[in-house]
Structure 1
Amino acid sequence: MNSTTTITITTVAERPELAGRLWDFPDSWPGFVQEDLVSWAHYMRIPAEFPEYVLVATDDESGAVIARGLSVPFLLNADDRGGLPALGWDQAVLWAFSDLRRGRKPDTVSAVEVAVSTARQGEGLSGLMLAAMRENAARCGHAELVAPVRPSAKHLEPRTPIEEYAFRTRPQDGLPHDPWLRVHVRAGGVIEAVAPASMTVTGSLAQWRAWTDLPFDETGDVEVEGALVPVHCDAQQGHAVYVEPNVWVRHRI
């Protein structure tokens, strides 16, 4: 689909032998995010159920898988939906699988993930994967790609409201302050809305201690490395909850 002198990007539908290698490389996702229950139930099924919407990048010289891009098709413009959901990532994935089972024709593609090997970050691969995802959505007959973007530098400001952070721009060029949002806007995307509850991770205090190596022994907000907002700990009830906000970006293609 898209190649340079050293990298080839294709779909899992075109190269099914790569489906089992999508997770060969280390990425930068914080571990606790993977405890989101929607992700647990559906994420690993995406390459099997939607192989034509899953991209994989390989190094032409070594053959190594160095990046992946997962997306899913769903019906957005339906009477029972009517707009980009506040539940962001979770809702887009749930709609996609529900529509597949019910035989509803999708009209939109949602990005689910762009991940680059930690050994190859800083080479512009995320931008290449996003461009390939846009091209692939168009090739599959869609007029737009939407993305519940996880701002890459928001974790440095966990107490800044997402509404403020999402629309912050740089004075020199008016582009988004956040690097990953900036990549999307440069690619033609438009920041449309905040998804205030895009992913939710709940667990016992023992689980959170295991996930983060933090004590979680006092009621209140706990800043966790890699978290976009603080995790709320309820020591009396014995659980903690992380509700992650994302930013909806719409790409007309």
Structure 2
Amino acid sequence: MLVTLAERPDLASATYSIPYSPDSPKFMTGSLTSLLVRGRRVVRRWPHLVVALLEADIPVARGIMVPFRSRASLPARGWDEVAVWAAEDALDDVAPDTACALEIAVHPDHQGRGHSRVVLEGMRAAAAGLTSLVIPVRPPDKAAVPATPMREYAAQTRADGLPADRWLRTHVRAGGRIEGVAPCSATVQASLADWRRWTGLPFDRDGAVVVPGALAPVFVSTVEDFAVYVEPNVWVSHRVGGFQGYPFV
């Protein structure tokens, strides 16, 4: 059963308590932009855009969206910029026309059952009052080839024409349209001590370092004692009305 937290506000805590997979990259908690759209803020302002999949009335998967007013094109700064747009529009009382999915998470004990696809469909339904749903998709399998440019990776297809990447393929099969790449969608900059804590790696040399779970290399400066990760994502749009797609710059 799918519900929104507007329908079941009593499930907010349980929905946000769904854990990530043990192999999820811990370094993404270092994103400063994500502080703008923390769970309690989204639930308080946009509970109708948080979807929970229930089994025996217990949340086992969630989908989180924020609304914003569409600009001329989808941003190259992807996830980060949309989070800022949503916050700006809310503060400025600008009426939104687009929903952006920030996350789909499935409880580790319930993975491999197609729950992500079900939550995606629920998000499309919850966004039906808006013009469209867009998603800066994070294809996790890209971590196996961090040196491959995302544009090249996202363009790879199977013999049947569907994306080679399994998560992009899920979106396309669900009716999604790949709009382009957000080359600097999410940024994490932190001290080397933080990076060591998140990854267990030494971070004792300058330059590009491959980090498990990262979709691109992390750039390290031992002299300045910091490292920066700039993650590329893939913009995918889903029809929730008469939407025809965005131009992409």
Where do 1:110-189 residues align within 5 Å? 110-138=100-128, 141-171=129-159, 173-189=160-176
Structure 2 unaligned regions, length at least 5:
241-249
2:28 is matched with 33
1:43 is matched with 38
Distance, in Å, in 2 between the alignment partners of 1:125 and 1:152 is 17
1:14 is matched with 7
What is the aligned-residue RMSD (CA, Å)?
A: 1.1
1:56 is matched with 52
Distance, in Å, in 2 between the alignment partners of 1:40 and 1:227 is 20
Give the total of aligned pairs: 237
Which secondary structure state, in structure 1, belongs to the residue aligned with residue 181 of structure 2?
A: strand
1:69 is matched with 63
The Cα shift of 1:43 comes to 2.4
The Cα shift of 1:168 comes to 1.1
Matched residue type, 1:190: R
| Greater RCO, 1 or 2 (C-alpha within 8 Å, sep 6+) | 2
Given that residues 36 and 87 in structure 2 are in contact (C-alpha distance below 8 angstroms), is that contact kept between their aligned partners in structure 1?
no
Structure 2 residue 217 is the aligned partner of structure 1 residue 222: no
The Cα shift of 1:26 comes to 2.1
1:86 is matched with 76
Which secondary structure state, in structure 2, belongs to the residue aligned with residue 241 of structure 1?
A: strand
2:230 is matched with 243
The Cα shift of 1:82 comes to 1.0
Distance, in Å, in 2 between the alignment partners of 1:39 and 1:226 is 18
Distance, in Å, in 2 between the alignment partners of 1:41 and 1:34 is 13
Matched residue type, 2:59: V
Distance, in Å, in 2 between the alignment partners of 1:110 and 1:146 is 5
Matched residue type, 1:129: V
Given that residues 152 and 179 in structure 1 are in contact (C-alpha distance below 8 angstroms), is that contact kept between their aligned partners in structure 2?
no
Matched residue type, 2:136: P
TM-score (normalised: structure 1): 0.91
Q: Percent identity?
A: 49
Distance, in Å, in 2 between the alignment partners of 1:42 and 1:26 is 18
1:53-107 Cα distance to aligned partner (Å, 9 max, x none): 00111112xx32210100011001xxxx311001101111111121111111111
1:130-175 Cα distance to aligned partner (Å, 9 max, x none): 011111111xx2231110000121111111100101111112x111
Given that residues 18 and 105 in structure 2 are in contact (C-alpha distance below 8 angstroms), is that contact kept between their aligned partners in structure 1?
no
Matched residue type, 1:40: L
1:4 is matched with none
